[in-house]
Each structure stands twice: as structure tokens, then as C-alpha cells.
């Protein structure tokens, strides 16, 4: 059973008098370095047509920033060379590009192989996946001096662990566990599963939970696999890597707990968990205080024929010798206040929640049973004096609606490896996160979530001594950026500076939008007959003859952009 975590914004971080961005015509200095080594970019084959493939290939950032030195970035060339590119803040110029290592990748790559993926896990170590089957651990020495990297461990996933081809690193983390170095990896690949009996096929994301543990050598193993059909908006380990935090529009599940074992998944059903809905014969609904379950009364049966018990969080409903329901409930209820009655040919059971004001995701444990029946006539849960007041001065626009369908239920799940369960969940409705970014080196990525018109940055809050207290902490705010980014339908990359002083939207070609939260020349502005307001500054940067944008990296005073033809440095101060 997942504990629902509520996001509580820090009011001190919200600027209520912020009144949007004003377009500035001030030029932003743009430095250009032609590429000596062309970046590698993977291409899909004819079998890779799913939405998961489109997201994996087209939206991947191919420019990898060093979190411990944000002005240094890396990309990988078509020949498998790791190229270092850096911006020197003292001189205001870009440094010459250097090869720090050459990967021993297969001589021939084919269409459909994934892009290279790279994660810096400390000031010393870097993990790289070649997009085919190899994972490499490097000692990077002093990255400020561009010294040559040394390979200290590698593993071949095709031969040693999984027996498949094409992988990508979604996250990687270094921890010291029992005085040993442990590197945890979320290694993903998209798997197509054909339905032999009914025809058709489905695509699933497999997230292999891998570990490198340092003994005399580095020992690699895959300890489990998570599986789901949904888009992967966020994937990051928590500190100590006992749990993996996933944000998606579909549930993921541990394959070790799957009733099919290691065999292929039965894809006859539309959803991974649809088999749970075979438990039926009743409907249910809820309020903040109670749960109401309704059964049709069996013909010829009286009240005395029914037997209803609630013991140890398990509800049993019988009529004669026939069992109508015998399952554990999603959450605890008050046994003394459980009531039932027969009216209008319905058996109605009323359960009082122990944890009132919490919303049940399902009636039964493990998402079993039918979906909740929503009452269209039910009044809003908010009291009259708390109902939101519509802003009649700001009409609703197309960009206010999410791009996906309103039926998508997007949420964060905390997938706990020791218990093989989802211990915590954060519900987002149908609006996905805007982006994720590195705010602090060594920490999990922060998640940008739209809050009204703003974008709030949230970091995992984890206490090893109290793992049940996991939550997200409001770290900062990008004022009015939630609304701004929603109107940019052609955006490819979105990011912000680690100090949150600016945010940036990069289209695939030509245009870059820069938003600074402070406009020095706009102090003292007031709305007519209103209070003083603050505005930010917007810049529009046009990229001439640069080709498609392949990567983006941010630092406090410079933005680095990788394109097909060049490296660009936007100087912000």
C-alpha cells in the first residue's frame, strides 16, 4: 500500500507580485566554436516506431555537464571518442576541445542502436553506456586539467547478464555501503512483445536495476527489473539506492513479483495490471471520511443470508456459502464503525477510514478490484468558502491544457527494492513534470513541477533512519515559468541555472528563449491603481547556420549548446 505524499509549497519562495516577463532587445553575447569532432547521434530503424522510442531517441540530451564543474561538458563523437569542451570564466572564452578517452566500442553500429549515455557519480568516477551492450567505469582523474581517463571496469550486458541488445543509462549513483563502494544503475531498454494469439504487439520499458560492488574486482549483477508501458518523465535513485523514484503515466512493476516469472508477459490485456480488475461484482465510491461498497442483492436472499466480516484489514462478504469478496483493503478502516444495510435491491457496506482525508487509489490491496465509481452529482469536496475563484481577467488558453489525454494519471512512485513494493506516491493528475535538472552535485536530480503559473523545483527529502518519512522538499521557484513554457510547443530542451536565476527553452532549430527572474531596469513598476510589481527579462536568441540542437548544459553565468555543427556559449554576465 502506497502512502500518498502531498506537495506543500514553501510560501516564502513564491513571488506573488511577479507580473511576467518583458522582452529585452539587449543582445546576449554568443561565442561559437566549430566542431573538430562530429557528435554521434543514433537513428531509429523501421521497427522502432512507438512513443517510447520517439522519446528515447529525439529528446535525449547528448551534452553531458560535469556537476562538480558546470562550465565543463562532454559529448561523444562518431568514432567513440569522449570530447571535453569547456568555457573559461576568467578569460570569457571557450577552451579548445580535447579527447580524454576512446571507447572500445564495436566497430560497426547499426540503425536502431541507442545513443551513448553518461553519468558523473563523483569527482573521480564516470559511468558510460555505449548504447549497445557495454557499460564502462572510468577514473577521470582531475577533470579541471583534462587529464586522460583510465578504464577501471567494464561489463557486457549481452553476454553476462541480460542476453539482449541496446541499453541506456537513466540514472547512476555511488554509495558507500558496509565500507564498500557500490554503484547502482538504472539501465533501460524498450522491448517489443508480440501477442501470438490475438495479433498485434506492445512496447514495454524494462528498467534493469544493476549494481557494481567493489571487492577485489568490480562485480556486476542485475538484481531485478522494473517493467512498464508508460513514458518515463523522471528516474532517479534515492540516497543509498534502496529505492528508485519513477515518474510515469503508467504503473511499473517488479518482474520478480510478476506471476509470469521470467517468461514473456501476456499482452492480451491493455494494461499491465488489468488482470486485477477480474475481481468484481460490486461498485465502490469514497468521500474524505468513508468508503461505500454496493452489491446487487441475490434473488431470493434475505438479510439473514448475508455474512460480513472485517478482521485484520481483510473484508469478507458471503451470501450463504457463496463468497462475494474476500480480500485485503487498500488501507485501514475503523472496525467498530463498519455498517451494512439492504435497501433498494442493494447490499450497501459503509466503511469509515482510519486515515481520513486520504484518497484511496483502489479499494483492494495491490490495485485489485474495479475502479472507483465517480458520482457526477457529488458536490465539490471543498467548502463553499474555499472554492477556487476563477480569474476572469485571464481567459483560458490552449497551452493551459496538457498535451496528453486527460485520462492519463501521472504520478511519482517510490519503488523500494527490499520489499518489492511502491511505498510512496505523489499524484500529478494529467500534467507531467516540466523537466528535471541537477541542482547540487551528488544529489538526485530536482524535478520541476507546474504550480499554477509557476514552476517549482523539488528535491527528494530522505532520512536513512526514518525511510517512511520520504517526501519532496520545495527547493526554489521559477516565477511564471510554468505558464511560459506551456506556450512553447516546439521546445526540445528545458533547463535552469543551479542558482535558479534564469530558465531556458531550446527549440530543435534556430530559437532559444532565455528568461531571467530579475529585470534591473524595471524597479518600482506599478500596475495602474495597484501595488508595486516585479517583472523578469526575456531574451530571444536566434541560432544562425548551426544545424539541429543536440544538447544543452547550464551554469550560473554561461549556457552551453551542442549542435550538429558547433558548440555555442551564451554569456550571461
* Predicted structure pTM score: 0.74
**Average pLDDT taken over every residue of the chain:** 84
Query: What dihedral angle (degrees, nearest 10) is formed by the CA atoms of 506, 508, 510, 516?
Result: 0
With beta carbons less than 8 A apart as the criterion, state whether 179 and 140 touch.
no
Give residue 34's pLDDT: 94
Q: Return the HEC string of 150-212.
A: EEEEEEEHHHHCCCCCCCEEEEEEEEEECCEEEEEEEEEEEEEEECCCCCCEEEEEEEEEEEE
Tell me the pLDDT tens digit for each residue of 437-487. 999 999 999 999 998 899 999 999 888 778 788 999 999 999 999 888 888
Separation of alpha carbons 55 and 248, rounded Å: 13
Asked whether the beta carbons of 76 and 63 are under 8 A apart, the reply is no
Instruction: Please write the tens of the pLDDT for every residue from 154-179.
Output: 998 875 455 578 999 999 999 998 88
Domains in the chain: boundaries: 275-375
Q: Please state, in angstroms and as integers, the Cα–Cα distance from residue 124 to each residue in 76, 99, 129, 187, following that order.
A: 19, 17, 17, 21
Q: Which pLDDT value is given to residue 463?
A: 82
What does each C-alpha distance from 191 to 13, 49, 166, 369, 443 come to in angstroms?
A: 42, 12, 10, 28, 30
- Does residue 63 sit in helix, strand or coil? coil
> d(Cα 432, Cα 457) in Å, to the nearest integer?
14
pLDDT at 197: 56
Burial class (CB in 10 A: 0-12, 13-18, 19+), 131: buried
CA–CA distance, 248 with 179 (Å, rounded to integer): 34
**Residues near 299 by Cβ (< 8 Å), separated by ≥ 6?**
none
pLDDT score at 173: 95
- Phi and psi at 454, nearest 5°, equal -85, 170
First to last CA, the chain: 50
Phi-psi region of 131 (alpha: psi -120 to 50; beta: other; left: phi over 0): left
Give the integer Cα–Cα distance in Å for 410 and 431: 7
Give the chain's residues under pLDDT 50.
160, 259-277, 376-390, 392-393, 404-405
pLDDT number for residue 314: 86
**Contact criterion met (CB below 8 Å) for 45 and 111:** yes
CATH fold for domain 275-375: Immunoglobulin-like (2.60.40)
The per-residue DSSP string of 84-130 comes to EEEEETTTTEEPPPEEEEE----S---TTPPPPEEEE-SSSEEEEE-
* Owner of C-alpha cell 558496509: 178
Amino acid at each position: 500500500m502506497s502512502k500518498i505524499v502531498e506537495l506543500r509549497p514553501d510560501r516564502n519562495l513564491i513571488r506573488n507580485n511577479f507580473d511576467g516577463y518583458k522582452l529585452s532587445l539587449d543582445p546576449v553575447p554568443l561565442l561559437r566554436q566549430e566542431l573538430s569532432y562530429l557528435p554521434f547521434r543514433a537513428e531509429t530503424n523501421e521497427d522502432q516506431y512507438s512513443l517510447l522510442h520517439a522519446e528515447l531517441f529525439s529528446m535525449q540530451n547528448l551534452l553531458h555537464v560535469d556537476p562538480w564543474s558546470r562550465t565543463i561538458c562532454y559529448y561523444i563523437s562518431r568514432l567513440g571518442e569522449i570530447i571535453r569542451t569547456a568555457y573559461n570564466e576568467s578569460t570569457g572564452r571557450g577552451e579548445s576541445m580535447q579527447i580524454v578517452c576512446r571507447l572500445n566500442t564495436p566497430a560497426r553500429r547499426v540503425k536502431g542502436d541507442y545513443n551513448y549515455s553518461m553519468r558523473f557519480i563523483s569527482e573521480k568516477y564516470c559511468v558510460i553506456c555505449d548504447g549497445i551492450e557495454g557499460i564502462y567505469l572510468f577514473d577521470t582523474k582531475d577533470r579541471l586539467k583534462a587529464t586522460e581517463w583510465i578504464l577501471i571496469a567494464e561489463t557486457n550486458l549481452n553476454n553476462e547478464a541480460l542476453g539482449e541488445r541496446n541499453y541506456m543509462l537513466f540514472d547512476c549513483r555511488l554509495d558507500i555501503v558496509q565500507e564498500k563502494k557500490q554503484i547502482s544503475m538504472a539501465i533501460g531498454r524498450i522491448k517489443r512483445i508480440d501477442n501470438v494469439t490475438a495479433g498485434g504487439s506492445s512496447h514495454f520499458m524494462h528498467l534493469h536495476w544493476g549494481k557494481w560492488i567493489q571487492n577485489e574486482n568490480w562485480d556486476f549483477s542485475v538484481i531485478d527489473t522494473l517493467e512498464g508501458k508508460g513514458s518515463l518523465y523522471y528516474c532517479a535513485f534515492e540516497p543509498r539506492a534502496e529505492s528508485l523514484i519513477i515518474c510515469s503515466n503508467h504503473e511499473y512493476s517488479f518482474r520478480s513479483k510478476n506471476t509470469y516469472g521470467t517468461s514473456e508477459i501476456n499482452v492480451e490485456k491493455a494494461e499491465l495490471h488489468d488482470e486485477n480488475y477480474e475481481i468484481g461484482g460490486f461498485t465502490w465510491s469514497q468521500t474524505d471520511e468513508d468508503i461505500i461498497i454496493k452489491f446487487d442483492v441475490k434473488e431470493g436472499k434475505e438479510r439473514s443470508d448475508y455474512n460480513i466480516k472485517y478482521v485484520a484489514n481483510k473484508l469478507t462478504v458471503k451470501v450463504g456459502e457463496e463468497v462475494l469478496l474476500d480480500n485485503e483493503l487498500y488501507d485501514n478502516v475503523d472496525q467498530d464503525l463498519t455498517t451494512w444495510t439492504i435497501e433498494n435491491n442493494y447490499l450497501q457496506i459503509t466503511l469509515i477510514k482510519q486515515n481520513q482525508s486520504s484518497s484511496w487509489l483502489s479499494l483492494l490491496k495491490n490495485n485489485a478490484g474495479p475502479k472507483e465509481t465517480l458520482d457526477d452529482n457529488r458536490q465539490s469536496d471543498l467548502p463553499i468558502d474555499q472554492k477556487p475563484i476563477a480569474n476572469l481577467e485571464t481567459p483560458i488558453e490552449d497551452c493551459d491544457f496538457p498535451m496528453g489525454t486527460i485520462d492519463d494519471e501521472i504520478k511519482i512512485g517510490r519503488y523500494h527494492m527490499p520489499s518489492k513494493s511502491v511505498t510512496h506516491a505523489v499524484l500529478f493528475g494529467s500534467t507531467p513534470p516540466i523537466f528535471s535538472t541537477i541542482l547540487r552535485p551528488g544529489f538526485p536530480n530536482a524535478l520541476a513541477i507546474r504550480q499554477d503559473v509557476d514552476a517549482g523545483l523539488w528535491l527528494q527529502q530522505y532520512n536513512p533512519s526514518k525511510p517512511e518519512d520520504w517526501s519532496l522538499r520545495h527547493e526554489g521557484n521559477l516565477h511564471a515559468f510554468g505558464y511560459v513554457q506551456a506556450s512553447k510547443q516546439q521546445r526540445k530542451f528545458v533547463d535552469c541555472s543551479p542558482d535558479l536565476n534564469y530558465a531556458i527553452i531550446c527549440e530543435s532549430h534556430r530559437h532559444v528563449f532565455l528568461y531571467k527572474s530579475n529585470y534591473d531596469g524595471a524597479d518600482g513598476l506599478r500596475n495602474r491603481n495597484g501595488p508595486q510589481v516585479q517583472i523578469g527579462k526575456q531574451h530571444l536568441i536566434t541560432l544562425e547556420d548551426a544545424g539541429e540542437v543536440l544538447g544543452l548544459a547550464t551554469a550560473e553565468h554561461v549556457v552551453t549548446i551542442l549542435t550538429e555543427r558547433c558548440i555555442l556559449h551564451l554569456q550571461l554576465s
